[in-house]
Amino acid sequence: MTAPLRLGTRRSALALAQSQMVADAVAAASGREVELVPIVSEGDVNRASLSQLGGRGVFANGLREALAAGRCDFLVHSLKDLPTAQPEGLVIAATPPREDARDVVVTRDGTPLHALEAGARVGTGSPRRIAQALRHNPRLDIHDIRGNVDSRLARVRDGELDAVILAAAGISRLGGELGGLRAEALGLAEWPTAPGQGSLAVETRADIGADTLAALATLDDEATRAAITAERTVLSVLDAGCHAPVGTHASIADGDLRLRAVVYALDGAHRIGIDRTVRVEPVRAEPVRAEPVRADPGYARETGSGNGADAADDGGLIARAARIGREAARRLLERGAADLVPRESTT
C-alpha cells in the first residue's frame, strides 16, 4: 500500500483550512491520501510584535526545518509571510490561483476607516497597515496586536477595539463569517497590500519524487506566479523584511502586467510609489477584479512599450515579471525609498 503524502502546516485554524484545501487537490491529482502534519513555528510561540520580528521568516522557518529533515513531504505557506530568499534544497512547486488580495477593515457598525472618529482604537500588527491607516486617518489610535482571526474579531465584538484590519483572503478561507460585524474592503489602487497577499505557496524538497512533484505542479497558476514574482522581487531588491511598510500589487489583464509598489514611512506621513504597466504575453488573468488606477501625488507612472527589454523573450513570463519588479524597485530606490524602509538582510 502506498504511504500517504504528509503536508506540513501551522496549527492555526486558517493554516489548517488552507492546507486542507491544498491536501484535497493534491490527493485528487496524485491518487494518494494526504495527511496533515501540524508543526509549531516561531511566530506561533513568540508573541513579539511583527515590527520587532521583522522579516526573519518566523512563520516559515520551523516548517522548512521539518521539511528538510524529512518529517513531511511538502508545505503550504501564506505567501505574504514567506521570506524572499529561497533556502537551498527547497523549491516552490506551485502557487495556486490567487484569492482576493485586498485588506478589509472590520467594525461593529460599518463605519469606513476614513470616517472613524478621533481616538478610535484600530488593531493591526503590520507596520504596512499601520502606516496606511495613519495616512488615511491620522486621528486613529493604533494598537499593535497579534492573534488569530477569531481572537481579533472578538476584540472588536467585545468593544476592546473599534476596528481591526485583516486580509480578505483569510476571512474567506475561514468561511467568511464575521459574527455580526461589518467589513469594508480597501481598494488595491489606494491600499496595495503585502507582496503575495491572497496567494499560497506549496513548497517541497528539490529531490522529492517526480510523481509527487508533478502532482503538486498541477496546482500552479502561471498568472498568479508572475504577479507574485513581480511583487516579491520589489521587496527583495529593496532588501526589506516581509513585514516592512511596503505595499505592492501586480495583476495581468489583456496581456499587460500592471505593478503598483509603494514604500511608506512608519508613521504614514510620507510615501514613495510607482506604477508600471508592461506588455507581456497573453495569459489567463488572476481571479481578482480589476480596479482603475487613479492619478495620485507621490506616484511615478510609466508604461512599457512592449518592444524593448521588458517584453524580450528571455526566459518567459516569470523572468519578465522578475525584471519588471527589479526595475520598479530600482526606481523607488532612486527616489529615496531606502530612507523609509528598514533594511533586512534575511528576507
Active site residue 81: yes
Give me the catalytic one of 81, 162, 239, 310: 81
| CB-neighbour burial class of residue 169 (10 A; exposed 0-12, middle 13-18, buried 19+) | buried
Give φ, ψ of 229 to 5 degrees.
-65, -45
The grid cell for 152 is 481579533
End-to-end Cα separation, the chain, in angstroms: 41
State how far the Cα of 159 lies from the Cα of 150, in Å rounded to an integer. Answer: 14
Q: Strands, DSSP E only, in 30-179?
A: 34-38, 74-78, 90-94, 103-107, 121-123, 141-143, 163-167
Q: What distances in angstroms separate CA 91 from CA 74, 97, 141, 313, one per listed residue?
A: 10, 18, 41, 24
Helix (H) or strand (E) holding 215: helix 210-217
Catalytic residues: 81
